[in-house]
Amino acid sequence: MNLYCSQFKSTKMNFRKLTISLVALCITSITLAQNTTNKYFRHLRYNHVSPYIKLAGTYPIDATTAKNTSHYVFTYNNHELVEITNNHYFTERRHPLASIGAYKTIITHTKDRETRIFLNKNGKRITNDREVYKEVFTKDKKGNYSQLEFFDLNNKPMESNWEIYKYTWYKKRKMIIEKRFNLKNEPRNISTYFEFGTTGMKFRKDGTPIGNFNLNEDLKIANNSEGVASYQDTYDTNGNHIKYTYHDKNNKLVMNQNGFSIGTKEYDSIGNYIKQGHYDSSMKLIRERDIVNNQYITLSKKASQKDSLEIKRISLGYLIALQELKPELMNEVMNDSLNKVTIGYSRALKKEIVTSISKNRMIENAKNWNKSNTRFPPNPSNQIKILDVYNRIATVKLFSDNWVEYLHLIKLDGKWSIINLLWQHKNINRYPF
């Protein structure tokens, strides 16, 4: 824009229409720059109910703090949200309606439309977490959403990963009525894993949902086939979704299809989701778990003596199985996904290649490869050095009379095994290059 402005200033032109256009362009550029503002948030408002709920940030921070932590950037122009930059890099599981799934969301507005497209870091169009390329909202006179449609890269209608092409909304008494349709205009459930058809939504004044109700053809609250008629939500003052409950048509607590009636969620002081609990209708705990992600990293403790001894036994067991004809031991120490590789030569390609051997081949080798007892010295020199152990993975170096080898080991169900093995002959003269 500044280039156009400078050209306008430096060029003496007598075309009145062109002059007016350039002036307008310069003014527009300056106005946009003046009216664009950024706001920074640690999180998006948890939105698991419906795309009817407008996007919002929670836990505001300043630009300096944002440089050193996971966050979202909301860009506004004249108080309209026009862009969301997703710098949220924590890896907790995210609900499709509670996340965007794109680096940048571009939002354009007209009188009765709001359009969102999604870009990666290179500016390329991609799908969002609903696996659609474009979302087009229709707005009523009050600015509320009345419809949402999904489109592909060629602006052709498409279905989301929940097999939904279109949402429609309208107000009836104290509820927002939501219906969903596929490309054949057939009604769709709220998701592919939860049986709610036409639904009614109630909201608090701050925009957070009170509940989502399953409705029959007469728009009366009704049980689904699992006996559930609504799920209802509680939020704290920071916008965190802290409790959700399942009810029948008489508003009595009931067990849902996943075997619980009440769900709770806990957050730390800056809004990170850290714990989940499931309870029955009498608030008796059924199960709970910590939410694992990369925001809090606990390093592995130093390897125990037991693990170190077992790693040595498994690693040396591979050599002993070959030397002493023990296929059962080879089967024990080698993982089913073994990848044993070395340097080979292809006569056809006339170049060096990687050659590999499977676990089954290694078991066969343990049966007969040293049957003449001439492959190893009478007293083999088997030496081992554990290079590193981190929790359930380890790296080992083996020195034998014949080879130098690097092993990767993995611990599954409490048992160590060799999963990768890279080797070459000790005698490097065997390699001509």
Predicted confidence (pLDDT) per residue in 40-69, tens digit? 999 988 677 899 998 899 999 999 999 999
pTM: 0.71
Lowest average pLDDT, out of 28-37, 56-65, 353-362, 385-394, goes to 28-37
Residue-level pLDDT at 34: 57
Residue 96: CB atoms within 10 A of its CB come to 18
Lowest average pLDDT, out of 73-87, 283-297, 357-371, goes to 283-297
Report in angstroms the alpha-carbon separations of 36 from 39, 81, 216. 10, 10, 46
CATH 3.10.450.50, domain 305-430, yes or no: yes
The answer on pLDDT for 362 being more than 90 is yes
From the CA atom positions of the chain, what is the Rg in Å?
A: 32
Highest mean pLDDT among 29-38, 319-328, 368-377: 319-328
Sign of CA dihedral 10, 15, 18, 23: positive
The answer on pLDDT for 285 being more than 60 is yes
Name which residue leads in pLDDT, 2 or 163.
163
Residue percentage of the chain with pLDDT more than 70: 91
> Can you list the positions of beta strands (E) in 225-310?
230-235, 241-247, 262-267, 273-279, 285-290
The answer on pLDDT for 416 being more than 60 is yes
d(CA 312, CA 303): 13
Of 302, 427, 418, 304, nearest to 362 (Cα)? 418
Name which residue leads in pLDDT, 19 or 288.
288
Beta bridge partners of 61: 40
Residue-level pLDDT at 291: 87
The answer on pLDDT for 419 being more than 80 is yes
Residue-level pLDDT at 130: 92
d(CA 82, CA 32): 12
The mean pLDDT value for 264-286 works out to: 95
Give the pLDDT confidence of 172-227 residue by residue, as tens digits. Answer: 989 999 999 999 999 999 999 999 999 999 999 888 899 999 999 999 999 999 99
Residue-level pLDDT at 299: 85
**DSSP H/E element including 42:** strand 36-44
Residue-level pLDDT at 254: 97
Name which residue leads in pLDDT, 330 or 300.
330
The mean pLDDT value for 241-253 works out to: 96
Residue 90 tokens, joined: 């924590």
Q: Where are the domains of the chain?
A: 7-290, 305-430
